[in-house]
Amino acid sequence: MHRLKIISGHLRPPFPEEKGTVWANECAASAAGPDDVVVVHGLRTPIGKAKRGAFKDTTPDELLSAVMSAVLKDVGLSPDLLGDVCVGNVLQPGAGALMARVAQFLSGFPDSVPVYTVNRQCSSGLQAVLNIAGEIRSGSVDLGLACGVESMSLRSIGNPGDLSSRLVDNDKARDCIIPMGMTSENVAERFGISREKQDAFALTSHQKASRAQASGAFDDEMVPVVAKIVDKDGEERQVTVAKDDGFRPATTLAGLAKLPPAFKPDGATTAGNSSQVSDGAAAVLLGRRSAVEALGLPVLGVLRASAVVGVPPDIMGIGPAVAIPEALRKAGLSVDDIDVFEINEAFASQAVYCVEKLGIPPEKVNPNGGAIALGHPLGCTGARQLVTMLHHLRRQHRRAYGVVSMCIGTGMGAAAVFEYPGP
């Protein structure tokens, strides 16, 4: 799709001298311009507990198709206007390239719309958003769909694959295959994050998620999905899933304290203060502001800045504490300017460290719960966080700023700053 410009209410390709427009990283966060990358709409499926939840027998292409088609239907956009589709996925073969194309056709998209996948592990959903944003900034497309999906029921984290035997001779390379739970223990030990702090953070996540569901806060962001359930006797039935099934409203500190360490005999990381393995999908429609306005589409948010950084692999959980300041610097904002921080709760240890390190007021962190309560479908999470955050900011009925961030296995962190422009 060509980059489009507005003249007397019509769209036209750019003049030759207009090509190559550069995005200014050091932008003023509140400045609005025709080339802004804006979020039009975003939706997610409910999140199911892997292997035990509502989506244990539902394939990822079905989950993905549910949100892809729903996002466009909600805003009345024909899929043939999409310039590209990018899908974040971690566990499917080939990062889900075949699955994504199948999901596109199940959604009724024409074969003329291209699709590709991206795998930056836990940030894959956010990376899909940033990839589509990059295409919009470069002038390659005007509208694109960024998605994330994971079925951890049907594909588990397992063998790291074929790697050089030389990795044992390189400390950093060897640290890349440390189990994620052990990196959580490393963060807790190195930075003094106690078991009590971790359990308290986990409890808060469940409490926030429970309140959000009870109040209907998730209703506008969620797509009910018809899921296949295979009973123990092999019989299949279909159920409509409209709620997350991972969080536990009855969780107590006393109950969390009784759980044994999951990764180290004398450790502090447990099943209760770690993210859940989960199934789910999310989709976000993005566009260039001028094209979005010309089509009469709404603006739910504006991407103001982003950053991806590297950190030591053995303490990969500190990634947000490094990525968030860099993204804020590019946006010309400070921690105090941000209304909501959606920080993925891979483990309570790393989430607590990042919040304390950056001096973020706890009430600004994951106001509707995070991955400890809701679950962490790897490729979906970044897109899911963005959907949840922008719908939350819209309910504030005022201009506001939010940050989406997560740590990344093998030692990275990602963050992006978005503005909700107000009603």
Active-site amino acid positions: 122, 376, 407
User: Which residues have CB under 8 Å from 126's CB, separation 6+?
Assistant: 88, 148, 382, 383, 385, 386, 404, 406, 414, 416
Q: How far apart are CA 244 and CA 282, in angstroms?
A: 13
